């Protein structure tokens, strides 16, 4: 008598499939797991935290190149702010430069909410530093950043420069205990010196200001100079890059104004900042400007950078980089 498999061949196929599935299931339970690649990560020590943050930042740089290729494919083909028309590419210039570096310390806002305050990485690192130096370029009658920084540190002194005003804002100017550690001059920051008797506005390079004050290092540098940051920082960075030396400051708070800029020239300038060791750890658009310029592009943004090259209070625990100063009163 023929078996059921001979009388019904489809049973044979079904049974064979069932046996094969059972065999594969059992084999998978005993097979070694596929390899998994996990990056090592540790929070043991400042240098490890900085190294971890730099690895994350380097991955972002690869993603940036992919974004340029997607919407370019070359930088000269990328628009700063694509128009509101088909195909509506979903980006602005700010999407190419996220603040992707993780500050290894506390990040907090110093100064007023809204316009005037700045985001700082590791204020606690200089709160008791006996010879802490801060430069603030661009005052514009508002000094809440400088006032809070002075109030929360024991040894920081602030050198402020702005040729459009005569003094710090009232937050510093009206508080004698703060004003004792604040020094103001109506000078501007530029890529070249121009402070002769025939110059209406006295302009100094950062190196010239530091020589004038007897400084070798700046802990925190704040710059807001209404789009002159491109020419000024390009000239500043070139000197140190050509010499193979680290920048003379530990941290930079910068407002960027991209009025009339092309993406190709902007990204070249930004990559120069990165080459010099500057890593953005915080950003925010200037919504006050945007509110008063509705219908226009989001041309202004605040960025805060930490300098990861050389030695400074934010990336090393050593003390010997402390500046020596003897400010001139003239």
- Mean pLDDT over 133-155 rounds to 96
Check residue 297 and give its pLDDT: 82
Q: What angle do CA 131, 115, 140 make, to 5 degrees?
A: 70
As a whole number, mean pLDDT of residues 18-26 equals 55
List strand residue ranges (DSSP E) for 115-228, in order. Answer: 118-121, 133-137, 157-161, 182-185, 187-189, 202-204, 218-223
Q: CB within 8 A of 283, min separation 6: which ones?
A: 94, 97, 98, 99, 301, 302, 303, 304
Categorize the per-residue pLDDT at 38 as very low, low, confident or very high, splitting at 50, 70 and 90.
very low
Residues 49-82: tens digit of each pLDDT: 999 999 999 999 999 999 999 999 999 999 999 9
Residue 8 binned pLDDT confidence (cut-offs 50, 70, 90): low
CA of residue 17 relative to chain centroid, distance: 60
Distance CA 327, CA 96 (A): 40
List, for residues 198-234, the tens digit of each pLDDT value: 999 999 999 999 999 999 999 999 999 989 999 999 9
Segment 61-67 long-range contacts (CB within 8 Å, at least 24 positions apart): 61/274, 64/96, 64/97, 67/91, 67/95, 67/96
pLDDT at 288 over 70: yes
Residues 78-122: pLDDT tens digits? 999 999 888 888 999 999 999 999 999 999 999 999 888 999 999
Residue 74 is classified by DSSP as S
pLDDT of residue 255: 97
Least confident of 41-45, 135-139, 189-193, 236-240: 41-45
231-249 CB burial, b ≥16 within 10 A, e <16: ebbeebbeebeeeeebbbb
Q: What average pLDDT does the structure give for the chain?
A: 87
* Lookup: tokens for 30: 């005993």
List the one residue out of 250, 259, 270 whose CA is nearest residue 310.
Answer: 250
Distance CA 217, CA 247 (A): 9
Helix (H) or strand (E) holding 273: helix 263-275
Is 322's pLDDT higher than 70? no
Q: How confident is the model at residue 20 (pLDDT cuts 50, 70, 90)?
A: low
Rounded Cα distance, 250 and 253, in Å: 10
Using 50, 70 and 90 to split pLDDT, how confident is the model at 29?
A: low
Contact (Cβ atoms closer than 8 angstroms) between residue 78 and residue 94: no
pLDDT of 320 > 80? The answer is no
Residues 6+ away with beta carbon under 8 Å from 126:
132, 153, 156, 219, 220, 313
pLDDT at 247 over 50: yes
Bridge partners (DSSP) of residue 160 are: 136, 184
> Residues 255-274: pLDDT tens digits?
999 999 999 999 999 999 99
């Amino acid at each position: 008598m023929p078996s059921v498999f001979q009388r019904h061949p489809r049973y044979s196929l079904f049974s064979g499939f069932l046996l094969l599935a059972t065999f594969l299931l059992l084999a998978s339970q005993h097979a070694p797991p596929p390899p998994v690649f996990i990056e090592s990560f540790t929070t043991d020590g400042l240098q490890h935290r900085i190294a971890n943050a730099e690895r994350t930042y380097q991955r972002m740089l690869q993603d940036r190149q992919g974004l340029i290729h997607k919407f370019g494919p070359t930088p000269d083909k990328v628009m700063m702010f694509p128009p509101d028309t088909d195909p509506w590419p979903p980006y602005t210039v700010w999407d190419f430069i996220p603040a992707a570096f993780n500050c290894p310390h506390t990040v907090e806002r110093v100064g007023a909410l809204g316009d005037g305050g700045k985001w700082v990485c590791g204020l606690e690192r200089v709160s008791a530093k006996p010879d802490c130096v801060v430069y603030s370029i661009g005052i514009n009658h508002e000094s809440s950043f400088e006032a809070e920084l002075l109030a929360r540190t024991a040894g920081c002194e602030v050198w402020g420069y702005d040729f459009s005003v005569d003094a710090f804002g009232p937050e510093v100017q009206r508080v004698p205990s703060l004003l004792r550690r604040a020094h103001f001059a109506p000078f501007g920051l530029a890529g070249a010196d121009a402070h002769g008797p025939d110059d209406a506005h006295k302009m100094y390079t950062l190196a010239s200001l530091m020589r004038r004050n007897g400084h070798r290092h700046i802990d925190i540098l704040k710059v807001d100079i209404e789009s002159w940051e491109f020419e000024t920082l390009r000239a500043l960075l070139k000197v140190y890059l050509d010499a193979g030396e680290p920048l003379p400051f530990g941290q930079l708070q910068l407002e960027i104004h991209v009025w009339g800029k092309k993406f190709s020239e902007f990204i070249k300038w930004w990559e120069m900042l990165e080459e010099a060791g500057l890593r953005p750890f915080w950003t925010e658009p200037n919504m006050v400007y945007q509110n008063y310029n509705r219908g226009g592009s989001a041309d202004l943004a605040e960025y805060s950078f930490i300098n990861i090259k050389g030695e400074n209070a934010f990336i090393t625990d050593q003390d010997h980089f402390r500046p020596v100063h003897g400010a001139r009163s003239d």
